[in-house]
Amino acid sequence: MNGQLTGGGQPLRLGTRRSALAMAQSGMVAREVERVTGRPVELVEITTYGDTSREALAQIGGTGVFVSALRDALLEGRIDLAVHSLKDLPTAAPEGLLLAAVPEREDSRDALVARDGLSLTELVEKLAGAGHTARIGTGSPRRMAQLNAWARELGTAIQTVAIRGNVDTRIGYVTTGELDAVVLATAGLNRLGRPAVITEHLAPELMLPAPGQGALAIECVSPELAAVLRELDHTPTRAAVAAERALLARLEAGCSAPVAALATWQGTELRLEGVVGTVDGATLLKMTANGPLAQDETAERQAVALGHALAERLLEAGAANLMGERAR
């Protein structure tokens, strides 16, 4: 290992968003970076456009709005590495940046936080019995599409409400009674030490997560630092999210497109599920692909091929017509 990178010396500067969740995630990574490099790590708080804008994510660009300021800081040398929620990372990496490590994934599922400790079915049935429609908050077109498709399938009605804000703000919509429930990522609630607020983990059959959900990404510029940080990489996770992100990239999905993907290992085989639909839930395309993968240096390349293949099948089935404007 390069002596300038490991053991003693100046602290490594780790760039992070200022939110409580980002700070918690970055703190976890910082401890691991200190372990593998032997150097202290200091957190450098950076405000992104996604943090300051109050517009809906689909309107301001969705993917990438929480990332660009961190990437600029890396390229300008103001920080040595950055931690991102992988689902926020655009599929095209800018020149000069290295995806040094993808640590082992947290729980990828979405979670319901509902009034009175109710599950989704209990909530909808209870309110319907009282002549009301359940109001469920989320900022994600992907979640809206799948919630609305679930309600249509059951022949019941719900209202999905677009919301913004940090985790506490979103939970507050439920505790104050403004909304009947919100949907959040389980991984974020776990990392914040808030799993007790979850009233139901939504099964992937009902709610497939965003590509990369539950995983983190560590980026840097220095090849030498990347080589050291590679010790934090988890090969099965890296391959799984590579398949999910390859599907998203081949679909050329715009920021407002309801696209979901989840890759899971079944022995030596990777199973990739993909969903593309309309926000109102009227149409939902679901497809699955399976492929045997060797968990070695070829795993990521094979996973990308699997993601591309499933995306092609979805496009042949009409996915492009469901996604609105596609990214170019």
- Positions marked active-site: 87-88, 142-143, 164, 170, 255
| CA distance linking residue 287 with residue 321, whole number of Å | 16
Q: What is the number of helices (H) and of strands (E) in the chain?
A: 11, 13
Q: How far is CA 314 from CA 76, 227, 263, in A?
A: 39, 37, 16
Which structure tokens are listed for 167?
């985790």
- Give the C-alpha separation, 171 to 10, whole Å: 40
Judge contact between 250 and 323, C-beta under 8 A.
no
Contact predicate 248/59, CB 8 Å:
no
The β-bridge relationship of strands 216-220 and 81-85 is: antiparallel
Structure tokens that stand for 203 in this block: 């099964």
Tokens (6 digits) for 197: 């607020």
**Distance from C-alpha of 163 to C-alpha of 109, rounded to nearest angstrom:** 19
DSSP 289: E
Q: With beta carbons less than 8 A apart as the criterion, state whether 189 and 197 touch.
A: yes
Dihedral, CA atoms, 23, 29, 32, 34, nearest 10 degrees? Answer: -60
